[in-house]
Amino acid sequence: MNFFRELFSPYSWKLAYRDSKSQWRSLIIYTSSVVAGVAALVAILSFRNDVLLTVDGQSRELLGADLELRSTQPFHEDVIAFIDSTGGSDATAWEFNSMVLFNEAGATRLSQIRAIDGPFPLYGELSTEPAEAALNYQKNNSALVEQSAMSQFNISVGDTIRVGNRNLAVEGALLSVPGEAAAFSLVGPRVYLPKSAIEGTGLLDRGSRVEYKHYFQFDDAESLIAFTEAFRPLGREHQVRTETVESRIATFEVIVNNLTRFLGLIAFIALLLGGLGVGSAIYVYIKRKTATVATLRCLGMTKEKILAVFAIQVAVLGFMGALSGTGIGLILQFYIPTLFADLLPFQIIQALSFEAISLGLFTGVLISVIFSLLPLASVSAISPLLTLRSTDFSPIGSLPKKVKFITLSISLAVLIFIVGLLTESYIASLVFTLSLLLFVLLLWGVAAFLIAAVKSLRLKSFSYTVRQGMANLFRPNNQTSMLMTTLGMGMLLIGTLYLSQDMLLQRINLETGDDTPDLVFYDIQMDQNDRLNEIITEEGAKVIQNVPIVSMRLSSRKGQSVQEMRRDTTVSISNWVLSREYRVTYREELNEAETILRGEWIGQAEGLSSVIPISISTQIEDELQLQIGDTLGFNVQGVPITTTVASVREVDFQRPEPNFFVVFPAGVLEQAPQFFASTVKTNDDAQSARLQSAVVNELPNVSAIDISVALASVREFLDKVSMAVQFMALFSIFTGFIVLASSIAISRRQRTKESVLLRTLGANNSQVGSIQTIEYALLGLLSSLTGLLLAIAASWGLAYFYFDLAFIPNFITLTAITLFIMLLAILIGWSGSRHIFKHSPLEILRLQTN
Amino acid sequence: MNQSAILEVQNLTKTFTNAGHSLTVLHGVSFSIEKGITCAIVGPSGSGKTTLLGLCAGLDKPTSGSVSLNNQKISDYSEANLSKIRNEQIGFVFQSFQLIPTLTALENVMVPIELRGVPYHKVEKSALELLESVGLKNRAGHYPTQLSGGEQQRVGIARAFIHQPEILFADEPTGNLDGETGAQVEEILFNLNKEKGTTLIIVTHDIELASKCDRIIELKNGHIHKDTYTTATEPEAIQMDAL
């Protein structure tokens, strides 16, 4: 209680001010480690606020209508009748993927076709070049083509494209679609056509996956609610989904909240590292103040008052650090949207967020204080006796275990509370905080190992400057371990992100070989299969696989119908797995991507009349909660069949070939309506382009995926997503460098003394400079290694246990990153050490008496 | 310059200026020190002892006047040349020992020679011999924090002699030590100095220590107050500024 009384005593504040007056610059540097973390946190929280604010202002544009009805089947006549009875829809669309031939360029590309009838979007507008193209394309029976595709294939307005067997003039370039992010085009260029242009092309009759949509506009919310309430039973019966502005916003908000929480936690890591930096600096500060504290205690000042004075200094300076961080965060707020430019479906409206500012300030101060608790508590261990006996006193070492335990417990509890505020889940907070502490301890361990290695490596064969540079890492009150941990955490984050992304690309970018396909054709109808294979052979390419595919729907599981399961509240099975259209194949053998985990693979069956032994993937096993021997009923386009689970397969879906959740044995589905997919190996890009053009010309409904183009899209998407994450992770590196600057400020006097002494003993400036440079370069190297060693270990584990991949990290890039960190460490080190040459060697004589 | 003098100070003045205020610490001081003698510079606090030591050792530049060491006018030298002179011809013993905390006792002793670029293995043997002569061979691998004050100063003395300097400046070498330890350190310092034939200049408050020197220069208010030879053989000429 005395402590709290002292904390609010005006005299304590006066004393805190007087004491800090002469050293406020140093004190600010000590607490500045939280700046980067607070800045990152404020920026990301402000960004979240901006996105939600924008969604609020442009909610209808997000959907383009008040209501959307959609189905993967043409709308049932009952549904059409219902729509007509309410006055009909305002616009309709068919959306599907199809090959588009860019006639002038002679190139083909799998594109996202949107065949529109009516004034879609009902809210907002398509942005096109020229602007009037959006208004004219339906009237002129022409097309709008994604800007990026037009640039890539050098297409101009007036050129023609071929979709199915229909040629259409290009009306204009499509720049943006309300409610859709630019990254949508990575799947394939978007092409808008009038619906009338598609009718009669045969594209929709040939097994394409089409999404049929109707859009509605309502005068008021009541009409919308009345419509959706009345439509619900019909929609459920005919599997027509409804999407309102509210449901789209809710989905969007969940995504934004999850994304910003995730990025907020990465920002919080920077803040936590900053806290460690502050704690370490305050410890050294208090250790230096030992003699003063002992004197004050001799003069009769209570330890509660001394503690209150230091606590006031830490809190006020922590607040100043948090305030600077908040200011920088508000500036960064304007940059964050550019990171997500292609991933957001609208231009962000920006505003100051009171919530972000107050949370940034609050967490910044709290983190500064809780990480300083242990060093502050150590003030109570400083005895007045120390005025008489000058020893190398360790304040924290002298604290009773009980005090240490209580202080650390309070710190941990406050940390969990702060993370809980950010994640809105205390379980997530507990897991995150403890995992983070585990990683900090791991980093600390790796740092200790590396430090021991450097100590033992101080070989006699090294020159004096090298050995002295190495030795400087261990000077009294050094913060080497702290620096290696904070900078190392940044490197761990960046390194793991980079290595995982690299691994993911390695995983899908399989080595080229004779049997590695580079082109996949699908939606091949039965009567087209032989001809397609002929075209492939005529063009000189090689068919690797030709796979039959049969569409069916699940009708029952373990004797219970799908309808019963939906009604049964005791069954918790995802709706998608019950209602999806299963596309299955049949064959006698397993392929290279499959491994039997349970049961027995049966490749041949006795026709439809028997119970058919099928093989399911592990995903279906989990989702449908199945065991070997369980029965599944399927409806094969009107024909009911009963199957039994004979085996469970682990399937590598990453391979560029068709793979299936469910595989039937041969001898059952041969006569069922089916279509085919073929994987093809071509000799070069030119042959691939010729083959795709030939197929589009003769079999326009057949779609092709060029694997190299798909890989480039995946790479681009990963780059876009990882850039934002890497940007946030960079703040941990910034924090590491602030801690470095802080530790240099703390050791300023020691460095000056060392430099002056060496020069007195005859060292020239170049030798003193070399020693400093070696010290900073080593700090950068060791910090980088601390993080990267753990990142490589984590990535190796991921590769070995999860991806089943022989992972070889890109050592050239890792070396370049390490060299960059070393260079930065040297630059920051020198920017804080230039003063060492300004002092005359004479000071060594004066320092003696200080 | 006197033929037998190693150090010659002529009309040395040092004025410090701070915020427009000037303070002259040394006023036209002149004297010379003969090679091989031991000389104490004594005087009350603020008399200019440390300033004089700094100027004589090439750690600072005079406002006027000159300092010559071994016939080299070091007061005109650049800092780079002074570093070389300090490294080759001058040794230092400090009141607060001034050991490098991150180096072992042996490594501390080796620093002046290693700074010349001489490899570790070539200097290790002579450094160990010096540590043995100050009674610390068994503590060669210890860090300064693991040594007592007296032991640290003995390492400091070994470091001061490792490069066989021609002149050694000691600033209150026993000032931070208790009487008994101080006496041991004094003995080691004087014995080694005699053995190596080095000129020793000691700045001290300690009259007893000063009395063990061949010559005592007493400073007062930046002037030489008294210059006394304690031994029988006085040099041919004594230069003293007028008081």
Which residues are within 8 A (CB) of A749 and not within 5 positions of it... i.e. 6 or more apart?
none
Q: In angstroms, rounded to a whole number, what is the distance separating the alpha carbons of residues A58 and A64?
A: 10
Q: What is the average per-residue pLDDT within B212-220?
A: 92
**Are residue A100 and residue A4 in the same domain, yes or no?**
no
B chain contacts of residue A840, beta-carbon cutoff 8 Å: 59-60
Q: Inspect the interface and report whether the beta carbons of B124 and A460 lie closer than 8 Å.
A: yes
Residue B233, class by beta-carbon neighbours within 10 Å (0-12 exposed, 13-18 middle, 19+ buried)? exposed
Query: Residue A391: is its pLDDT beyond 50?
Result: yes
Residue A427 in tokens:
């379980």
How much is the pLDDT for B236? 42
Average pLDDT, chain A: 86
Whether residue A105 sits in one domain with residue A10 = no
Residues A269 and A416 in one domain: yes
Q: Are residues A126 and A46 in the same domain?
A: no
Q: Are residues A48 and A178 in the same domain?
A: no
Please, which pLDDT band fits residue B218 given cuts at 50, 70 and 90?
very high
Q: Report yes or no: A541 and A691 within 8 Å, Cβ to Cβ.
A: yes
pLDDT at B207 over 70: yes
Of the pLDDT bands very low, low, confident and very high (cuts 50, 70, 90), residue A724 is confident
Q: How many domains does chain A have?
A: 3
Out of A479-488, A674-683, A803-812, B3-12, pick the least confident.
Answer: A803-812
Q: What is the ipTM of this complex?
A: 0.82
Quick one: A555 and A664 in the same domain? Answer: yes
In the predicted model, what is the mean pLDDT of residues A789-817? 83
* B124 interaction partners in chain A (CB closer than 8 Å): 460
For residue A208, what pLDDT band results from cuts at 50, 70 and 90? Answer: low
Residue A825 lies in a domain: no
Mean pLDDT of chain B: 87
Contacts of B235 (CB under 8 A, 6+ apart): B2, B4, B34, B229
Name which of A350, A357, A343, A407 is nearest A378 in CA terms.
A407
More confident residue, A780 or A301: A780
Verify whether the Cβ–Cβ distance A848 to B124 is below 8 Å: no
| The pLDDT value given to residue A773 | 93
Inter-chain touch B59–A763, beta carbons under 8 Å: no
Is the same domain home to A53 and A100?
no
Of the candidates B86, B121, B171, the beta carbon closest to that of A848 is on B171
Would the CB atoms of B84 and A764 count as touching at under 8 Å? yes
**Of the candidates A660, A559, A670, A550, the residue with the CA atom closest to the CA atom of residue A616:** A660
**Residue A378 within any structural domain of the chain:** yes
Chain B residues lying within 8 Å of A462, measured CB to CB: 120
User: Do A482 and A278 touch, CB atoms closer than 8 A?
Assistant: no
Chain B interface with A: residues with Cβ < 8 Å: 50, 53-54, 59-60, 79-80, 83-88, 90, 92, 94-96, 98, 100-103, 107, 110-112, 114-117, 119-121, 124, 145, 159, 171-172
**Is pLDDT at B187 greater than 50 in this prediction?**
yes
Per-residue model confidence (pLDDT) at position A513 = 52
Query: pLDDT tens, A85-132?
Result: 888 788 999 998 888 888 888 888 889 999 999 998 988 888 999 999
| Shortest CA gap B55–chain A (Å) | 8
For residue B79, which residues of chain A lie inside 8 Å, CB to CB?
765
Return the higher-pLDDT residue of B178 and B211.
B211
Report, as an integer, the average pLDDT of A202-217: 79
> What's the whole-number mean pLDDT along residues B14-43?
89
Give residue B241's pLDDT band: very low, low, confident or very high (50, 70, 90). Answer: very low
pLDDT in tens, A89-100: 889 999 988 888
- Inter-chain residue contact A844 with B80, CB threshold 8 Å: no
Indicate whether A39 and A145 sit together in one domain.
Answer: no
Taking an 8 Å cut-off on Cβ atoms, the answer to whether A472 and B124 are in contact is no
CB contact under 8 A, A840 and B59: yes
* High-pLDDT (> 70) share of chain A, %: 96
A521 lies in a domain?
no
> Do residues A566 and A661 share a domain?
yes
In this model, does residue A658 exceed pLDDT 60?
A: yes
**Mean local confidence (pLDDT), A814-821:** 92
Q: Report how far Cα A491 is from the mean position of its chain's Cα atoms.
A: 16
Residue A509: inside a domain, yes or no? no
Residues of chain A whose beta carbon is less than 8 angstroms from a beta carbon of chain B are 392, 460-464, 467-468, 471-472, 474-476, 754, 757-765, 767, 840-842, 844-849
Contact B107 A467 (CB under 8 A): yes
B94 vs A contacts (CB less than 8 Å) = 844-845, 848
* Cβ contact B102–A471 (<8 Å): yes
State pTM to two decimals: 0.75
**pLDDT at residue A8, as a whole number:** 87
SS3 A688: helix
What is d(CA A334, CA A25) in angstroms, rounded to the nearest whole number?
A: 30
Walk across the sheet containing B167-171 and list its strands: B90-93, B167-171, B199-203, B38-42, B215-220, B223-229
Listed residue (A632, A34, A485, A14) closest to A278, CA to CA: A34
* Within a domain: A584: yes
Select the residue of B85, B102, B116 nearest A474 (Cβ to Cβ). B102
Q: Name the pLDDT band for A693 (thresholds 50, 70, 90).
A: confident
SS3 A13: helix
Note the pLDDT tens digit of each residue in A163-184: 888 889 999 999 988 888 777 7
Q: How confident is the model at residue B39 (pLDDT cuts 50, 70, 90)?
A: very high
Of A763, A840, A849, the CB nearest to B60: A840
Last residue of a domain, one of A633, A661, A681: A681
pLDDT at position A509 is 60
pLDDT(B29) > 80: yes
Q: Do B171 and A845 touch (CB under 8 A)?
A: yes
Q: Report chain A residues whose CB lies below 8 A from the CB of B112.
A: 761-762
Residue contact B53–A845, C-beta within 8 A = yes
Question: Is residue A806, in this structure, part of any structural domain at all?
Answer: no
Residue A114 inside a domain? The answer is yes
Q: What is the mean pLDDT of residues B54-78?
A: 89
Q: Are residues A54 and A97 in the same domain?
A: no
Tell me: the pLDDT tens digits for A218-246?
Answer: 888 888 899 999 998 888 888 899 999 88
Does the pLDDT value for residue B237 go beyond 50? no
Q: Kindly state whether residues A282 and A136 are assigned to the same domain.
A: no
Residue numbers in B near A760 (CB within 8 A):
59, 86, 92
CB B98 to CB A757 under 8 A?
yes
Q: Do residue A114 and residue A39 come from a single domain?
A: no
Nearest to B95 among A467, A761, A848 (CB): A848
| Last-in-domain residue among A142, A177, A196 | A196
Q: How many CB atoms lie within 10 A of CB A653?
A: 12
Task: Return the minimum-mean-pLDDT range out of A288-297, A342-351, A431-440, A799-808.
Answer: A799-808
pLDDT at residue number A451? 87
Cα separation, A3 vs A7, in Å, equals 6
Query: Which pLDDT value is given to residue B2?
Result: 52
**pLDDT score of A514:** 56
Nearest residue in A to B91, CA atom: A761
Distance from CA of B95 to the nearest CA of A (A): 6
A157 domain-assigned: yes
> First and final CA of chain A: distance in angstroms?
38
Give the residue, A548 or A576, on which the prediction is more confident.
A548
Of residues A588 and A846, more confidently modeled: A588
Domains of chain B: 5-229 (3.40.50.300)
> Quick one: DSSP state of residue A400?
-
Please answer yes or no on whether A463 and B86 come within 8 Å at the CB atom.
no
Domain range for A279: 1-60+262-424
Total Cβ atoms within 10 A of residue A96: 20
The stretches of B140-178 forming alpha helices (DSSP H) are 149-161
- Write down which residue in A424, A442, A474 finishes a domain: A424
Q: How many helices (H) and strands (E) does chain A have?
A: 29, 21
Chain A residue with minimum CA distance to B145: A392
Average pLDDT score over residue span A688-709:
84
- Chain B CB contacts of A761 under 8 Å are 86-87, 92, 111-112, 115, 159
- Over residues B23-38, the mean pLDDT reads 91
